[in-house]
Structure 1
Amino acid sequence: MKHLRLALLLALIALLALGWQQAWWRLPDRHNPFAPLVVDEAPNWLTGFKLARAQRDPARCAQSVRALPWRVEPVPDRRTGEGCGFNQAWRVSTLGDVGVGEAFALSCPSVLALAMWQRHTLVDSAQHHFGEPLQRVQHVGSYACRNLYGREGAARSRHATAEALDVTGFVMRSGLRVSVQGDWGDGSAQGAFLREAHDGACRWFHGVLGPDYNAAHRDHLHLETGGWRTCR
């Protein structure tokens, strides 16, 4: 009986392999670990794996960024100092229908994290709390050749490699403004939205620091890729 079950199992595996080879059936891309990341797809158990793989692979990352309905363009590699510069970064001018004010340069892995955050956290949260779409993400920049906290002798910040973005607030379509400095921690819809924005960012970025972390982050959310997993 044991040998019969083994034979049936091997036959089933062979049949599945043959069916795949002959295109009798295909695993849907959203459930296929080898399919590329599609930002617009609803997240499932494979999304984190696909995102991490794309972030590690420059070709896959570029493919996913080019598929975004955003105004983005590749930026020439740059080195501006010891430990400063970036490779395969992109200049982001809009997040689709969501504006960003001044365009900024961001590493490819960080662009993908930003896309997942915008699509699967900010869009739904804005609609839930305010009943209207998000119009603009406000920021104070990404790339800057500087050390952590600007301290002499400290390690380089992730901003020095265009792997970080500092977000200070959001504007809804009606003109309603949500400020990290002004609305964080209160009991309003704005405060709840900011908390969801922070917690949602922790799902997609490697490092997220907000006002609860320290005084230096009282007015913005620091979002980065490339470092240790941090959600503070």
Structure 2
Amino acid sequence: MKALSAGVRTLVWLAVLAAIGFALYAFVRSRPQDVPWTPLDLSQPIGMFTRSKIGGLKDDFAGCRALLDAAGVRYTALPPRDGGAQCGYDDAVRLNAGGSRDLAYAPAGVGVSCRVAAALALWEWQVVQPAAQARLRSGVARIEHFGSYSCRRLYGRDSGAFSEHSTANALDIAAFVLEDGRRISVVGDWTAGQGKADADKAAFLRDVRDGACGVFSTVLSPDYNAAHRDHFHFDQASRGMGGACR
């Protein structure tokens, strides 16, 4: 009886392990973006490890460009730039109109690090457009920005650490122009007014800010400080598994 009981227990444990294995297999098949070892795919929804996978492209410019190519993002690889001090870049791309991206940037042809470009593509498709449809009943036609590359220190100070802008590893987002012509700006619509339309605009801005936290290592908004009252700051600074979202 004891031998039989031990055998039964073994069979039960094998059955449990098999069930767990099948469940993990099904999960990996249905949510590959939530598994750390699956390759990054810009066609997949944002998952638990998407941000860290994008961060892992830091020293893989060719691999990052291959991801953009596979996703249909049109771009031009920029030649390396030596800005002296701690400025310049060797992994930047200029985003071009067309391809699978349905919106434009203004000013046009913004140049950013490839990791920022990959995150922007996911953010546009998985966050910005769904949030605009849900909150404002219109798609987004254009994103206005304050630029990317700028050889400067944090907050333009004379000393201290250099900004991620100094390597084109950041982009400041100012406003969104909808397909129906409405313009939603960070400076004008972050704080809701009296009506439902104002509340929807403010909610949209918070949706796109919160959603950016899944693909950018740093996301700063008016909630962070007064210096960001008129824009969102997105960058891909190396932060390990953690991120800054405020």
Matched, 1:116 2:119: no
- Residue by residue, what CA displacement relative to the aligned partner does 1:103-137 show, whole Å, maximum 9, x if unpaired? 11111111111112111110110110111211001
The corresponding residue for 1:204 is: 215
Q: What secondary structure is seen at the aligned counterpart in 1 of 2:202?
A: helix
Query: 1: distance between equivalents of 2:68 and 2:136?
Result: 29
Matched, 1:59 2:73: no
CA contact (8 A) 2:50 2:215 kept: no
- Residue by residue, what CA displacement relative to the aligned partner does 1:139-175 show, whole Å, maximum 9, x if unpaired? 0100111111111012111000010000000001011
Query: 2: distance between equivalents of 1:216 and 1:78?
Result: 28
Structure 1 residue ranges (4+ consecutive) displaced by more than 6 angstroms after TM superposition: none
Query: 1: distance between equivalents of 2:192 and 2:36?
Result: 41
Query: 2: distance between equivalents of 1:47 and 1:212?
Result: 24
- How many residues align structurally? 217
Amino acid in the other structure paired with 1:202:
C
CA contact (8 A) 1:107 1:163 kept: yes
Amino acid in the other structure paired with 2:144:
Q
Amino acid in the other structure paired with 2:175:
G
Query: 2: distance between equivalents of 1:86 and 1:117?
Result: 23
Q: What secondary structure is seen at the aligned counterpart in 2 of 1:67?
A: helix
CA contact (8 A) 2:220 2:234 kept: yes
1:205-220 map, 5 Å: 205-220=216-231
Q: Deviation of residue 36 (structure 1)?
A: 3.2
More displaced, 44-53 or 77-86?
Answer: 44-53
CA-atom RMSD in angstroms: 2.7
The corresponding residue for 2:24 is: none
The corresponding residue for 1:181 is: 187
Matched, 1:99 2:104: yes
CA contact (8 A) 1:133 1:173 kept: yes
| TM-score, length basis structure 1 | 0.82
Q: What secondary structure is seen at the aligned counterpart in 2 of 1:196?
A: helix
The corresponding residue for 2:3 is: none
The corresponding residue for 1:72 is: 75
The corresponding residue for 1:24 is: none
- Label 1:146 to 1:123 Cα distance change in 2 as closer, same or farther (>3 A): same
1:156-171 map, 5 Å: 156-171=162-177
CA contact (8 A) 2:74 2:95 kept: yes
Query: 1: distance between equivalents of 2:153 and 2:59?
Result: 24
1:136 to 113, 132, 142: 142
Structure in which a larger fraction of residues adopt strand? 1
More displaced, 211-220 or 62-71?
Answer: 62-71
The corresponding residue for 1:43 is: 46
- Label 1:180 to 1:48 Cα distance change in 2 as closer, same or farther (>3 A): closer
CA contact (8 A) 1:165 1:222 kept: yes
| TM-score, length basis structure 2 | 0.78
Query: 2: distance between equivalents of 1:210 and 1:136?
Result: 19
Aligned-pair identity in percent equals: 38
Q: Deviation of residue 29 (structure 1)?
A: 8.9
